[in-house]
């Protein structure tokens, strides 16, 4: 029964869940550019090159105090993880995802990977909402959650291999802290919230070497996948309405 459910979950993602995650991020990024192409202009600044407009962000489901307090759009806590503010933003996040996700998949399994990824994004953006961040997007909170789960794994496993993994994850964490301090516009609240959520999720769900995946993990993973699909479908419908019906 467990193998059947695992196969069904893979059907949601396709042959490679990481590739599907990256594809979804890229498609939504391109769609966010198409909503208001006149706002792009020509920029040689790598940090602002091909950046969607604020209008695009609001239509596509950016989160923060503006959409949540202004419109009651709590669903944006999920959708914001799949939006990006520019070419470099999505490139670095997707590169980090390709580096970290395979390892988290291997040590936690597919269902627990889904739980860690989605929970970390929501938790990171929720913390930044309570910190009064007006508008925010990006997969960084989710990626920080993967680092947090690796931190927990390395510390809990111990031994030479566990200590090596823990030290590497701590180096990534320190790099994130320095990056957040040196560059303006970084949502450090979301990064920190995602990191802590990843540690907590790793502790709560356990990892393969200590505990097999259970029915509760399968149920939560399916719930999160279906919830994400419904929310992103709503995002695409909103974007299509703006593209074809709003002047």
How large is the average pLDDT for residues 116-121? 98
Domain count, the chain: 1
Q: What is the rounded CA–CA span in Å between residue 136 and residue 80?
A: 7
Is 8 inside a domain boundary?
A: no
Task: Give the alpha-carbon dihedral of 40, 55, 83, 222, to 10 degrees.
Answer: -150
Which residues, including other chains, have CB under 8 Å from residue 109's CB and lie 6 or more apart?
A: 208, 213, 217
Is 242 inside a domain boundary?
A: no
Is 108 inside a domain boundary?
A: yes
CA atoms within a 13 Å half-sphere pointing along the CA-CB vector of 113: 21
pLDDT for res 93:
95
Strand partners, 136: 63
| DSSP codes, 216-240 | HHHHHHHHHHHHHHHHHHHHHHHHH
Strand partners, 63: 136
* pLDDT tens readout for residues 177-227: 888 888 878 999 999 999 999 999 999 999 988 888 899 999 999 999 999
How large is the average pLDDT for residues 105-129? 97
- CA distances to 111, 117, 140 from 188, rounded to whole Å, are 27, 18, 10
How large is the average pLDDT for residues 11-26? 80
Is 10 inside a domain boundary?
A: no
pLDDT for res 46:
54
Is 7 inside a domain boundary?
A: no
Is 1 inside a domain boundary?
A: no
8 A C-beta contact, residue 162 and residue 154: yes
Query: Of residues 14 and 246, which shows the higher confidence score?
Result: 246
Calculate the average pLDDT of the chain: 89
Q: Which domain holds residue 120?
A: 15-237
* pLDDT tens readout for residues 72-96: 999 999 999 999 999 999 999 999 9
**Nearest residue to 116 via CA among 29, 220, 9, 32:** 220
Give me Rg for the CA atoms of the chain: 18
pTM to 2 decimals?
Answer: 0.91
Say yes or no to pLDDT of 8 above 80: no
Q: CATH number for the domain including 78?
A: 1.20.1540.10
Is 142 inside a domain boundary?
A: yes
* pLDDT tens readout for residues 31-60: 999 987 655 544 555 556 788 989 999 999
CA atoms within a 13 Å half-sphere pointing along the CA-CB vector of 6: 12
Is 9 inside a domain boundary?
A: no
Say yes or no to pLDDT of 15 above 80: no
């Amino acid at each position: 029964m467990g193998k059947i459910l695992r196969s069904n979950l893979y059907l949601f993602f396709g042959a490679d869940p990481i590739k599907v995650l990256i594809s979804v991020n890229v498609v939504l990024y391109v769609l966010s550019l198409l909503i208001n192409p006149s706002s792009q202009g020509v920029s040689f600044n790598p940090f602002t090159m091909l950046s969607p407009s604020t209008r695009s962000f609001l239509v596509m489901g950016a989160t923060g105090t503006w959409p949540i307090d202004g419109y009651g759009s709590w669903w944006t806590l999920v959708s914001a993880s799949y939006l990006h503010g520019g070419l470099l933003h999505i490139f670095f996040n997707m590169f980090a995802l390709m580096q970290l996700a395979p390892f988290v998949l291997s040590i936690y399994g597919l269902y627990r990977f889904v739980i860690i990824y989605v929970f970390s994004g929501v938790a990171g953006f929720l913390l930044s909402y309570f910190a009064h961040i007006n508008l925010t997007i990006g997969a960084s909170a989710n990626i920080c959650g993967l680092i947090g789960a690796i931190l927990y794994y390395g510390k809990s496993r111990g031994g030479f291999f566990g200590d090596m993994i823990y030290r590497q994850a701590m180096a990534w964490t320190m790099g994130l802290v320095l990056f957040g301090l040196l560059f303006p516009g970084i949502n450090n609240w979301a990064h920190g919230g995602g990191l802590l959520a990843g540690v907590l999720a790793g502790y709560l769900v356990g990892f393969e070497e200590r505990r097999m995946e259970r029915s509760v993990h399968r149920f939560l993973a399916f719930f999160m996948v279906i919830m994400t699909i419904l929310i992103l479908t709503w995002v695409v419908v909103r974007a299509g309405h703006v593209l074809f019906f709003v002047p």
